[in-house]
Structure 1
């Protein structure tokens, strides 16, 4: 690996035209591809963002200096290097320096998208993939019918996945007579799942999004052991939780920012809700009309 002085000398030679740079993707695009790992922790994504935004300087920093600039520990930087596929920080820094030299030489194509625009672009790609999956809606329709018929219907989402589970359960209660939401793990989840099965429930809709909780895997196994079937919304078609589920709807999450975004899983959840409404249109209509009457009577919502 060249020293910082040698690397800067090489950069000077490139910018002066003595060395012809290789034609490759814009440096920020290379870094985003390198760091686009959904299982990076928020702290690791902070490191990634700093490197993207300060590549020409950060590529020549020692591990101590980089940790200090980002505000993390040196072991955190080492773990980050391993998480993005390198044997350690020295190997990562060597790669960063090769990208930084390309930055100083001038990229073959200008990368105009800032980090927020890149995050939106990634989510658009996730939605495009989901749109292609919906070209054959039979699987969604079939599971919507099963979820609609399960009374009670249990919705499971732990840790970061709780927000989507709450959204689904809130909407599902408008069209289903008995929806039970589980957002706490451990024995609390076990009790809820076992009681749901004893009450006649047949299905659980589970959400498992990065970073995947060990508690979710355990809860899904408990559900299966109790005789419940599991439909799973997640980001990966393969993995321990998906292996335990009866059916998996895998759709990408946005991992370009410090915390994930869930455009495609949100649409997937809404699609299953739509399938539930279509499965029993008479019950759906009766419950929605009843809810509207109650909401008007008690003024749940602001009037336009």
Structure 2
């Protein structure tokens, strides 16, 4: 397509690819790092037992409230004994639970922009939006240093084929990523069925020369996802994971994890932050090979115009 007597008019995707390359930058000061990232760093050092992982995950998911709980209340909420909480505090480097709670309170108060009353103001739908805004603000802090996103985007772009894995509720995010990635990557293989079907697809991808899998694991986290990630690693594939988890067995199996919050205020979760994470990795993939990106986008626009894929706006 083009204007009258002029050069072809780029599609929105082509224009964005030309103008919005990710730039690397220094990490933000510690006060700007998201509370989730600070807790992930705090709890990631030791190899925690399953019970200790449950405590860590509860603290990450309920920081604002959990930071002010007594040891008895925290143990009751998580479903563990009080000595288990004490051992957890010691395992992550503190003299006891009071010292850990003091640190949690500092993180919670430092990461919030308003009071508890402000958080719960409005109806339930507004509260759900507020929670997603907080997830996006945390993601924005994580993006202060874009080097990791840039690096993984390059690796995904170089993997041919590139496998995208999403099972059960995670299918929608995997389909979105794969649909967009096919515009700029020559061989994207989408896996949305678990069990032996996923295993077969992953093994074929490795045999065809693939080096990376991008996997999604959103709550509730499926056993099939963990099994598929393990098969991928066993076959020699590297795994990049987008999930809401900072700790857990799926995270342990991944080579790199992007932990993003999900909206859990309503009956079904919402995925504002994971969606932005997808778009960021897609941008990094386009930046990795600008010439291939432009060539593929131009070819796609010609096909779309020829077959009238889209309505004229």
Q: TM-score range by the shorter chain?
A: 0.5 to 0.7
Is it true that 1:293 corresponds to 2:302 in the alignment? yes
Picking from 143, 167, 176, the partner of 2:152 is: 143
Residue aligning to 2:173: 164
Mapped to 2, the partners of 1:303 and 1:218 lie a distance apart of 45
Residue aligning to 2:200: 191
SS of 1:175 mapped into structure 2: coil
State how many pairs are aligned.
208
Aligned-pair CA distance for 1:112: 3.5
CA contact (8 A) 1:38 1:253 kept: no
Picking from 217, 235, 240, the partner of 2:249 is: 240
Aligned-residue CA RMSD (Å): 2.3
Query: Against the structure 1 CA distance between its residues 84 and 236, is the aligned structure 2 distance closer, same or farther, given a 3 Å change threshold?
Result: same
SS of 1:236 mapped into structure 2: coil
Mapped to 1, the partners of 2:117 and 2:195 lie a distance apart of 51
Mapped to 2, the partners of 1:138 and 1:300 lie a distance apart of 36
SS of 1:212 mapped into structure 2: coil
CA contact (8 A) 2:121 2:127 kept: no
Aligned-pair CA distance for 1:236: 1.2
Question: If the length of structure 1 is used for normalisation, what is the TM-score?
Answer: 0.65
Is it true that 1:208 corresponds to 2:217 in the alignment? yes
Query: Against the structure 1 CA distance between its residues 114 and 191, is the aligned structure 2 distance closer, same or farther, given a 3 Å change threshold?
Result: same
**Structure 1: gaps (5+ residues):** 1-34, 40-81, 88-107
**Cα deviation code 1:265-300 (max 9, x no counterpart):** 000011000000000000000000000000000000
Residue aligning to 1:130: 139
Residue aligning to 2:226: 217
Is it true that 1:118 corresponds to 2:118 in the alignment? no
Picking from 274, 279, 291, the partner of 2:288 is: 279
CA contact (8 A) 1:127 1:263 kept: yes
Aligned pairs for 1:166-185 within 5 A: 166-185=175-194
SS of 1:206 mapped into structure 2: strand
Picking from 255, 258, 271, the partner of 2:267 is: 258
Aligned pairs for 1:21-170 within 5 A: 85=78, 112-170=121-179
Residue aligning to 2:100: none
CA contact (8 A) 2:135 2:261 kept: yes
Mapped to 2, the partners of 1:159 and 1:296 lie a distance apart of 34
Moved over 2 A (4+): 35-39, 82-87, 108-112
CA contact (8 A) 1:123 1:254 kept: yes
SS of 1:118 mapped into structure 2: helix
Mapped to 2, the partners of 1:261 and 1:135 lie a distance apart of 24
